Structure 1
């Protein structure tokens, strides 16, 4: 759906929630493609209210994209009631949902901020650590907004290992170092399999790129909020992507800077002093990233060797140290 198409659809079917004008929307930006959707900012010419239209991809044989878009809208509506919105932490304000031409269109009020990965690059180190602490606080608030009586959960080690072996086993065996990391994951996981962890309703894709910040307020994005499981499966992907942000090409950040940011994030969340489960989940996700890149061909595999390989090695080392 083109930018003109989105504006035309909204002008026909969506009135401005601020001034009640109809037919008043103009595009401010071009559609920005994302993995499973595109987003575009629009403005009401009467009151200058700005909104964002998130347009799903078309339905296909593999997924019902409209249903996923509708669930995301309904999740946001629920979170506006149960998430403790305040001057520092919140979620996007959902304004409406439409369907057209096999796509779902979720409309939210525009929040003027950068994603946290970009925001961190603009900050000095003390402020960057504080931003990471705030991200941990936001995630804790999300988890506390879920079902209060969730039963204790296990890591599901056997299922995770089976998924890795079946989906990526062939490409992970290509070099001894990566397969050694997999074996470390397997051996430590089997020793942890009987442990239980507090269950939470998970974000489902928590990473710096899925959080907006304007310097004062932190807003979560792409909140799935469907699965129940241990909190480490939200903590781990954030930390992995934070590590990758800290190693962006040309960055002068050191491992010490990352460790300080990691510590502040976990402290903001209120995570205890047991790092083993977090390292295990981080290594699991890192091996998934690496396997997915290797399946895309030689060029992607070479990129992953430079980008993801050091993360896998570091996590395997850390996991062995605490096991």
Structure 2
């Protein structure tokens, strides 16, 4: 037996489809058309006990076997039919009333055309054989008119629900799915307060250690720079002499003197000008056998005696003796 759905019903003899025409609302008869149209679709629905209703899809009118003149007509009243199977594999059935007293058949007129009629006899040919060709499933609601697969009132929406979905419905479903996915996100694990405090303390220690390392690096850099190119330890000095612990300057091969030379001129030392009378004294070892070293003489006060070089005897009251001694030293060094 046919399952519920939308069918096209074709007569085997004439190869024409059963239709309820566009003028069916005025009480037109059932017709057999040569071509398949929207008028040829019927909603076939089982009523139990082998009975079915045949309702036109385009206007919701029912085929009916009328008592008057025994002519099948279209009506707004739902009428039940019996479908008697003839060939199950080919889905061929006879359409009759509930008492199986009348059958819907196709008769050929003298003009050569076919028309739908009723017959109480089984002719034994294909005139009363109808083939049910399945088209699609029934819509959710069978009330109202159906155009193109849905009901008349909002047929497109219903067809969309069964055949692929309405874009508006899909958008709503997608937004709900996104909301659900956000709600199902894994919550962050809670940290114990004691553990968090230990973590914070550790971070502070790491920061302090980093700052201390940076300070040590700066200090080391400053010390290295001072040792390489900066002033000497224990006093200012530099140049060609050595740095002494007392801050004095020691020329090559000479004794330490208090004032470093301002402009060294040669490998023989520099010349310094005496403060008393402008005598220049070489700041170098003398070439005599005693290898005496001359020291810079301090300024003499008027009326007093001068100091003799180291190792000499002081002669009181002898004014100007210090200058003679310096003159002798100058002659020796010149020779």
Category of TM-score, reference length = shorter chain: under 0.3
Of structures 1 and 2, the larger Rg is shown by 2
TM-score, scaled relative to structure 2: 0.18
When you count helix as a share of all residues, which structure comes out higher? 1
Comparing both chains, which one has the higher relative contact order based on Cα–Cα distances under 8 Å and sequence gaps of 6 or more? 1
When you count strand as a share of all residues, which structure comes out higher? 2
TM-score, scaled relative to structure 1: 0.18
